[in-house]
Amino acid sequence: MSETDIKANKIDYKNFFYPPGGILIWILIMVELITFGAALIALSINSRENPELYHQSRLMLNSTYGAINTIFLLTSGYFMARTVYYVKQQKLDKAAFNNKMAMIGGLLFLLLKSLEYYEKIEHGLTIGYNTFFTFYWLLTAFHVIHVLVGLGILFFMYLGLRKAKRPDILNVEAGASFWHMCDLIWLLLFPMLYLIF
């Protein structure tokens, strides 16, 4: 790769309007975090009206599933960070491998979450069971939608890494930023739903 090609693929990160992935993805991330944050504040306020109900409901969740899913997503996030690193190094085979490992982490998360959902439905703990489970279903299902979208992004990123000789680093960083947002949201949901009440 020539020096001109390398310079063309670099981004001015000292400029506020060019964070990793571009300003638009970060606006989206901030909106999503504010949305989840507002829902978690509502959950916290609502729990004060009936703390015993929330405590007993929280005990009906499987915190082991939640902890394992946290490990899946954090490990996936690690591989996503390595993907970006290897793209910047122009080591696309390694980038594609790490991207694939990030996708596997996301799929394992969805598999275990599906098992958890199945068990909740089997025991009648659906969205209308009580206010805690209304929050549980709405928050976790909204997060699952984000994970599905993120996996779609990672899949197309993987295809691009397999085909492109010089992938667009801005697109790779935007996809990675979205994926890390999924990690961050889960790191907020896990303690609030599974541990605190």
* Class of domain 3-196 as given by CATH: mainly alpha
Q: What pLDDT is attached to residue 16?
A: 53
Tokens representing residue 156 in the block: 């197309």
The arithmetic mean of pLDDT across residues 130-153, rounded, is 96
Tokens representing residue 84 in the block: 């970006």
Contact between residue 117 and residue 17 where contact means Cβ atoms under 8 Å apart: no
Going by pLDDT thresholds of 50, 70 and 90, the confidence category of residue 150 is very high
Q: What pLDDT is attached to residue 72?
A: 98
Q: Where are the domains of the chain?
A: 3-196
As a residue count, the chain comes to 197
Could you please report the per-residue DSSP string of 166-188?
S--HHHHHHHHHHHHHHHHHHHH
Rounded to a whole number of angstroms, the distance between the first and last alpha carbons of the chain is 55
Residue 4 has pLDDT above 50, yes or no: no
Closest of 146, 133, 135 to residue 186, by C-alpha: 146
